[in-house]
Chains A and B, each alone.
Chain A
């Protein structure tokens, strides 16, 4: 029996971490405030009228928000560095129990669930296979069941998933333990998918581990997580900090390198600030199912526009609701062997960010109006909101400073501004040394965390994991250059996403691309607005004042170069070339890791020469499997259904649309009739030719 049902009210004392968290957060707020006030004073001194007019007041306000924002990142990294130098956070959850206690704790029934939506089948299931095989190696596989929860819409996709699932069951001898559920109606996106699982089977499991389609987790990590949950009944969610792996394109390898070098510092700092009130990131986490089912249902938002309808980014909200119910949410960077992948290209990352931007901005409603949320979780909402809102704030800051420069160059000096009540004139003052100091202090806040992270790598003896000190230094320099090139592109794109979100532009929920490179045409088309804007802006700056032109270059130049940057970074050849030169190396690229090897070259589960639909029709075993799992209801419009079937029998599936193909693929009788018709079809017909493919010895 699981220990999971304890009520937190029964726990004897207020946990000690709460006082520590309050102290750390108080200190963080104080440091950020003082630093921001210092920066604000510097900025006020730089401005010619010292904030004496509306324009400069606007500049000062935006500057304060941005400076505070980077200050938070700076102090988080500093805390992370300090905690890591101390050998880890003594107040973290994983330090509560020693190894012997942990090892003696029995496991409880746990479901490992993988929601998927139009993902590459072989790669996705290779991750699940690697997780299963690693769990088997621990000898504890019997405590776990596995669910592939598909929301895929195209018959071609979900038939491929189901065929691959069946073969994986065969291969792993997991029939009756590894399940596949396809949901024809994608109500409420991913959170709806998981909720559907919970409604049907949640009561069967003490815990649920949620994986993303590109997740892989180690068996020992999973068993440790279950034992920690068993030992700490106050914990509702335990989140790992996934490492990026399996990167091939240059873009993904830069993200992967940054994640492995800088990530540990930031996650250690973040975990140290949040402690038992951390966020849930939606995957690579374990959840106490009964608490989640009781407290973490997501009501539709009742506001207006963006703030009306289903919650898109569910994970932060679920963590906040778990906290509101009195339970703890922990993020534990020390739980290793937790992996995911980076989007392969900038275009893919920005496509994903479009969804995330809207989802995070939607949290503003909950930030203001959700009752009884914990302060830390409101701050997590604010953090998510500012992750995207900081982009238009930066853009607005650039616009206002450009207006200021234009005004000072083209307009006469205003000695008696309107807001001024004094009878003495206001003389514009110039303090170039203040401006340089301000820029240096901003660069300090941005780059010192990265240098601390490198120092941490050196001090913890991890330099060889990144190719040695020289290669590490060179890789960091390259990463800095690329991150400076990417920052303005992300800023401009995120600004557009924020505007789209605020005007509630409807989004298409698409699966992620995890393989393709970006073409030149696609890159020029998507980056053209930013490039043209940057050319116009830097041209204006040059016309106004050469000095202003030079100031504009760090932002304008990356935008002008956005298309080639996007294309070149998407190239696998460049990413692999850097790897051959031992640059941007990560530990998993150098040492054998069964989980990483398994997904680097996934063993195919579907035969390549037929489409999934054709295989479902022709392959006798697969046809039987799909018929067994298909509906046996009579179709609503039998006449139309029969017409589609006859068309498919004579001309194949290509003439049918998605709805028609889905209808046939879900119908056991139609699949059976198609099977018989295909095997007896004339040689020169569509199905006769496909039988010809199957007849060749190398098929299957």
Chain B
């Protein structure tokens, strides 16, 4: 078994969760480690992919506020005016 592979999978999982807004405390690290351990039972091949695919289901991350790029459009027109 490659230690680097496991380390990489765990590192990715923790980085992903941190960026998604979860605090990387010891409890979270232990849960992530369990996930990697679980996925490793299915073999080394495709470990990272399985871990990253399972991550969203196993770790519900806080939903970012739906971005509102712009308010609803109230279409108007640009006029060219005339001299008085």
Interface residues of A (CB under 8 A from B): 145, 147, 162, 166, 169-170, 175-176, 179-181, 195, 198-204, 293-297, 299, 321, 324-326, 371-373, 618-621, 624-625, 628-629, 676, 679-680, 683, 691, 694-695, 699-700
Contact = CB atoms under 8 A, between A and B. Distances in A.
B78 interface: yes
A299 B80 contact: yes
B65 interface: yes
A181 B78 CA distance: 19
Given A200-B73, A203-B74, A621-B64, A326 B49 contact: no
A691 B43 CA distance: 22
A540 B65 CA distance: 72
Contacts of A170: 65
Given A200-B70, A679-B16, 18 more contacts: A169-B65, A179-B70, A181-B70, A199-B76, A201-B73, A203-B75, A293-B76, A296-B81, A325-B81, A325-B84, A371-B83, A618-B19, A625-B64, A625-B67, A628-B67, A680-B49, A680-B53, A691-B15
A695 B78 contact: no
A197 B25 CA distance: 45
Contact of A321 (B15, B73, B81): B81
Q: Which 4 A-B pairs give the minimum distances between C-beta atoms?
A: A372-B83, A295-B81, A297-B78, A680-B49
Contact of B67 (A166, A325, A373, A694): A166
Contacts of A162: 69
Contacts of B16: 620, 679
A352 B67 CA distance: 35
Contacts of A699: 15
Contacts of A683: 8
B19 A294 contact: no
A177 B15 CA distance: 31
A680 B48 contact: yes
12 contacts: A169-B65, A175-B68, A195-B78, A198-B78, A297-B81, A321-B81, A324-B81, A325-B81, A619-B19, A680-B52, A695-B11, A699-B15
Contact of B76 (A145, A203, A679, A691): A203
Contacts of A619: 19
Interface string B43-84: 000001100110000000100111111110111111111111
Given A175-B67, A624-B64, A680-B48, A199 B78 contact: yes
B75 A294 contact: no
Interface size class of B (residues with CB under 8 A): 35 or more
Given A620-B16, A620-B61, A679-B16, A629 B69 contact: yes
B18 interface: yes
Contacts of A629: 67, 69
Interface of B: 8, 11-12, 14-16, 18-21, 48-49, 52-53, 61, 64-71, 73-84
A200 B67 contact: no
A695 B15 contact: yes
A180 B69 CA distance: 5
B59 to A, nearest CB: 11
Given A324-B84, A621-B21, A679-B52, A176 B75 contact: no
B80 A297 contact: yes
Contact of B65 (A175, A200, A695): A175
Given A620-B20, A680-B49, A700-B18, A176 B68 contact: yes
Given A200-B75, A204-B74, A700 B19 contact: yes
Given A199-B77, A294-B79, A683-B8, A621 B84 contact: no
A72 B81 CA distance: 32
A299 B81 CA distance: 11
A180 B71 CA distance: 10
A490 B8 CA distance: 59
Nearest to A323: B83
B66 A199 contact: no
Nearest to A204: B74
A629 B71 CA distance: 13
B19 to A, nearest CB: 5
Given A620-B61, A680-B52, A326 B80 contact: no
Contacts of A198: 76, 78
B25 to A, nearest CB: 13
Contacts of B68: 175-176, 179
Contacts of A175: 65, 67-68
A204 B73 CA distance: 9
A691 B12 contact: yes
Contacts of B64: 621, 624-625
A487 B1 CA distance: 74
Contacts of B80: 295, 297, 299
Nearest to B50: A680
Nearest to B78: A297
A326 B84 contact: yes
Nearest to A291: B81
Contacts of A680: 48-49, 52-53
A620 B76 contact: no
Contacts of A204: 71, 74
B26 to A, nearest CB: 15
Contacts of B11: 695
A695 B70 contact: no
Contact of B15 (A325, A624, A625, A694): A694
A629 B82 CA distance: 39
Contacts of B75: 199-200, 203
